[in-house]
Amino acid sequence: MGPIQIGTLSRVRMSAMYRLKQCYPKGISISNLHTSSQACAKEHFKMLVLGGGSGGIAMSARMKRRFGADNVAVVEPAETHYYQPIWTLVGAGAKTLASSGRPTASVVPSGVKWVKSRVQEINPDSNTVITDDGKEISYEYLIVALGIQLHYEKIKGLPEAFDHPNIGSNYSIQTVEKTWIALQNFKEGNAIFTFPNTPVKCAGAPQKIMYLADSYLRKTGKREKAKIIYNTSLPVLFGVKKYADVLWEIVRSRNIQVNHRQNLIEVRADQREAVFENLDNPGETNVVQYELLHVTPPMGPIQVIKSSSLADEAGWLNVDKESLQHKNYPNVFGIGDCTNLPTAKTAAAVAAQTAILDRTISKVLKNQKPDRKYDGYTSCPLVTSYSTVVLAEFDYTGQPLETFPVNQGKESRIMYHMKADLMPHIYWQGLLKGFWGGPGPYRKLLHLGMK
């Protein structure tokens, strides 16, 4: 995507200045070191960020340094911000749910306006956003970081089945602790782990909890009475062959059954039955009894994006895969799970994207062409036990893009401690504060400039 033309940029700024004159904020209060948003029916910001997840908060911090705090706002309704990658360990009892969350007020950069509302409508042709409480906000530049939508309701019997024991899901704040309860209560029978027939965030997570469950059942002497089953809609165990090979070794050595092209379509909680469709033979279903069921829900694009002109045909934010600039609206940018970037949706991908997007915006502000390209870097620390991880790192092409000068295609205790102890610190103190843009510079250093 090329730079914004000077004439287009001038029109955007003139339009924004006009709208700004329409609104005179009154009574803006200062709360929790950032400004509250209960002031005015119509406000204007040079940079408006939609979403207060990892990408939204990280970019708010970077944009504060670029535009000044008074010129930046972030729209996010949730009172608590969660470090979701740790939920794998929460579901296995290795971390507490409380340790994964902090008040949103503590992570929104000081001085940046926190609009505590939900985005209801995005109008890029008029450079405005409407929130669910009726507030209209205009912007000069927009970053969309709204994440991905979970669709438990697309599985018949859910989410109400979560009221029954023996079923959990590490993907939701309401259900992650249910996974640990179900694991502790397991006695004997089938332990089933699913992967849906949709894009998902953190595509390794559905099998991470499976390996942890295997370890827990061995530790508690129940493994011989358990049949662990991984029913995945995918035709492969993992998308990158190097890491898939080591995972197959683990699966075979631990006597785990893997069934491809099996998609969960119904949960009959009263009978403890899970119904799967065979994606290679439409109309064929398979009913399996379970003693433990971990559900990875179907996921999809956020409705407010899907119903706007910002979306591609599938409903994802339509951005250039190298610059992260919108393909049709040059003053709009995207980051993270809500985009149509053809890479795995992970927090590690978001970190790498923040550095690229910051650079892209700096060039756009100068009417210059973006000069740094996102290579699709993403990472998935594949937790294989309570003490080991296979650290998968790869790019758009599915080729390994490893940070450390060792073979990461094997289980490592050091990588587990990095996942469990170091990465949360980097997240809270580095990424969310706009200082961590992924391991790219360190990779080059550790590989003596060869990568």
Cβ burial of 190 (10 Å; 0-12, 13-18, 19+) is middle
Residues 6+ apart with CB under 8 A from 6: 367
Three-class secondary structure assignment of 176-243: HHHHHHHHHHCCCEEEEEEECCCCCECCCHHHHHHHHHHHHHHHCCCHHHEEEEEEECCCCCCCCHHH
Number of neighbouring beta carbons within 10 Å of residue 275: 17
> Is 338 part of the annotated catalytic residue set?
no
The secondary structure of the chain in percent helix, strand, coil, rounded to multiples of 5, reads 35, 25, 40
Segment 309-312 long-range contacts (CB within 8 Å, at least 24 positions apart):
309/124, 309/125, 310/122, 310/124, 310/144, 312/340
Give the active site residue among 23, 40, 202, 338: 202
> Is 40 part of the annotated catalytic residue set?
no
In whole angstroms, what is the distance from residue 180 CA to residue 170 CA?
9
Pairing state of beta strands 42-50 and 72-75? Answer: parallel
Using alpha carbons only, what angle is made at residue 145 by residues 327 and 83, rounded to the nearest 5 degrees?
Answer: 145
Q: Do the Cβ atoms of 351 and 440 come closer than 8 Å? A: no
Give the active site residue among 23, 40, 338, 380: 380
Q: Do the Cβ atoms of 207 and 193 come closer than 8 Å? A: yes
| Catalytic (active-site) positions | 202, 380
